[in-house]
Amino acid sequence: MGPKRELKFALESFWDKKSSAEDLKKVAADLRSSIWKQMSGAGIKYIPSNTFSYYDQVLDTTSMLGAVPPRYNWTGGEIGYDTYFSMARGNASVPAMEMTKWFDTNYHFIVPELGPDVKFSYASHKAVDEFKEAKALGVDTVPVLIGPVSYLLLSKPAKGVEKTFSLLSLLPKIIPIYKEVISELKAAGASWIQFDEPTLVLDLDSQQLQAFTAAYADLESTLSGLNVLIETYFADLTPEAYKTLIGLKGVTAYGLDLVRGTQTTDLVKKDFPKGKYLFAGVVDGRNIWANDLASSLSTLQALEAVVGKDKLVVSTSCSLLHTAVDLVNETKLDDEIKSWLAFAAQKVVEVNALAKALAGQKDEVYL
């Protein structure tokens, strides 16, 4: 959104036809650039890209897959603002797609409408474009995609499609598009890629868990040569889901929410695959409170003994889109209250401070 909600104002101005598409693109590019540089300046090693969205990341994935409902009269090619915002907000002649809560957060997403007749095609190159954009600024990023299985599990059967239609049956149709995106990211120089598979924390049956195994087995050869991070968040994994996660083919790293996933730490201590990375989500991405650094550090030290020093990465519990942007702008807050708080910009600094402390470069004053 930007520290002063710059994106919100730019979008409203564009929707009201008071500014051009070029004006909107400029605001968006400036926001992305400032965030990448801010994270780089704060010492963050794994900086995400493709986390910016004009509206919603699930809608961005729907665009990437070309899964536009017929009522929007999209005729193919790269999806532009008209089609994208029509799906999000409707237009004079057709309603928007349904919106629902993103798990138990205040964020909402546009629900994909799918059926057996959807013709998927690679229709938005946003993930690759933003990776290249960051690279041109001298920032090497980890492109983030919503994983194929979570995308389908978060979808609904389109109007006129049987309610009993198996959305997971579409997996073989969308995997080829994911392969194209991965191949382009590799060609552009990506060395890491992140798939968000938050549905792994839901109560899934064995068939649903099997879909993860099948999807990543199919992607394995395309992912070869890349470090692959699968990120989960918002809750504990069941022992079955954890077993599925650590058994996925071609995966290098696992991201776990250790703030809400209080039991997950025990699963890691019992069984963690040798030589793999753990992205330990100890800094809460969903609230505005400063981290209990001493407590986080002791959690990290215990995990380091299991995972290994060079394979433990300090991380946030989830995306920082769920918290306020920057405490710097809160000029009227009482100093004591301010000292209890950490917004997104401050959480990034906490992540780096914990990583340094873990590496033996403890900033005593900060901690």
pLDDT per residue as tens digits for the range 314-362: 999 999 999 999 999 999 999 999 999 999 999 999 999 999 999 999 8
* Summary mean pLDDT of the chain: 97
User: What pLDDT score was predicted for residue 364?
Assistant: 85
Residue 366 pLDDT level (bands cut at 50, 70, 90): confident
Cα–Cα distances in angstroms (integers) from residue 14 to residues 19, 54, 92, 219, 261, in the given order: 5, 12, 16, 39, 40
Residue 20 pLDDT level (bands cut at 50, 70, 90): very high
pLDDT at 191 over 90: yes
Bridge partners of 256? 280
pTM: 0.97
User: What pLDDT score was predicted for residue 363?
Assistant: 86
- Neighbouring C-beta atoms of residue 306, cutoff 10 Å: 15
pLDDT in tens, 49-63: 999 999 999 999 999
The 8 Å CB, 24+ separation contacts for 305-309 are 306/268, 306/269, 306/272, 307/268, 307/272, 307/276, 307/277, 307/278
pLDDT in tens, 71-123: 999 999 999 999 999 999 999 999 999 999 999 999 999 999 999 999 999 99
Give the type of residue at 332: K
> Any idea what DSSP says for residue 135?
H
Do 94 and 113 form a contact (C-beta atoms < 8 A)?
no
pLDDT in tens, 207-251: 999 999 999 999 999 999 999 999 999 999 999 999 999 999 999
Phi, psi (degrees; rounded to nearest 5) at 226: -110, 150
User: What pLDDT score was predicted for residue 367?
Assistant: 83
- pLDDT (mean) for 138-164: 97
User: What pLDDT score was predicted for residue 365?
Assistant: 84
